[in-house]
A = this chain, B = another copy of it.
Amino acid sequence: MLKDREVKLIRQFGLEPIKDIKFPFPHKFVSREIFIAARGIEEFKKMLRGGPFYILTGIMPSYKLIHLGTYAIVESVKYFQQLSKITIIAIADIESLSTRNVPLEKAKEYALKFHIPTYLALGLDPKKTLFYFQSENKDIVKIAADVSRKTTFSELKAIYGDVTPGRVLSSLIQIGDILFPQFSLDMMGLVPIGLDQDPHMRLCRDYIRRTDFYDFKQVASIYIRLIPGLDGSEKMSKSDPLNSIFLPEEDYGDLRKKIWRAFSGGKPTIEEHRKYGGDIEVDVPYRLLTYILDDENMWLELGEKYKRGELLSGDLKNITYNILVEFMDKFKKRLDYYRDIVLRNEISIIKSAEEIKSFI
């Protein structure tokens, strides 16, 4: 069910909810409505029907900590990798520098040590996944320059409110990120992101319609409901460690404490809870399970029992904690494995669209 804020944004941005869309493969994100809306619904439908497309997503390597919210993005990319031959992941080091004051070498270190291994450890298909650093990709500025002459200052102002030179550069470069694969691929593009990123997509799609120098195919975005902060706030944030679950959590004692403090949809007393039941719409442990628990029956049953008051808030927290521990154990093993892979340079880091050709 869409939340009020989502309904408002979807209406405000002129997006189409996708509840009537038939997805070709089952997935917890489909049945649990984690995919909430799309821009470019016609293109998106073509992709689902087998039209060729690439997937583009970005990593902001501004810090070494990565929270569980990233899982929602990567799991979505994984889903669409079943339909697409090629996924390209922008490491936004230029953006980290221009908007977050992170030196390029630092961003590179974070990306190689933390972000890239995490993305692969979360299950992206390494044979279909290419990475690149914005600062090493000479194609994106060729697009950014064209965007700059086709975009007005007031359009940027509408997105950012306060426009700084850093934000102007970032937003131009971002459109370069989304479109440069088309220098080599005659395909549509799909960008899985959070709803709040939609203004960039709108800018990008408008630009594609306007440019007379490049002949880009249109791009679509699929919006993912982001994992909430532990206090029930909109989304996890790496700047608020106590409110986030990290990939990985090193100390399971800390993890237990975090889950224990998470916002609950249970009633204040056991008696009331038994009588009226809990609210799974706001219960953060249950909402975490909505993302990470694969077993559909178990997820539904836990929800039913919680709503009926048979399951107490503490029970649900315990279950969530145990499932998260299992998740982390598996993740950490894979993370170690992919750190080695990255160290051995066995991943595909490209520097131009030209290099994409040899991968498809």
Task: Using CB atoms and an 8 Å cutoff, list the residues of chain A in contact with chain B.
Answer: 94-95, 97-99, 101, 103-104, 134-138, 141-142, 144-149, 151-153, 156, 163-166, 168-170, 172-173, 213, 351
Contacts and interface: CB of A to CB of B under 8 A. Distances in A.
Nearest to A166: B148
28 contacts: A94-B145, A95-B145, A97-B213, A98-B145, A99-B149, A101-B149, A104-B145, A134-B141, A135-B141, A135-B145, A136-B138, A138-B351, A141-B173, A145-B169, A147-B165, A148-B165, A148-B166, A148-B169, A148-B170, A149-B164, A149-B165, A152-B164, A152-B165, A153-B163, A153-B164, A153-B165, A156-B165, A165-B168
A201 B22 CA distance: 58
Nearest to A102: B213
Contacts of A135: 138, 141-142, 145
How many subunits of this chain does the assembly comprise? 2
Contacts of A137: 138
Contact of A145 (B97, B136, B147, B163): B97
Nearest to A137: B138
A97 B146 contact: yes
A134 B148 CA distance: 15
A166 B98 CA distance: 17
Nearest to A144: B169
A268 to B, nearest CB: 48
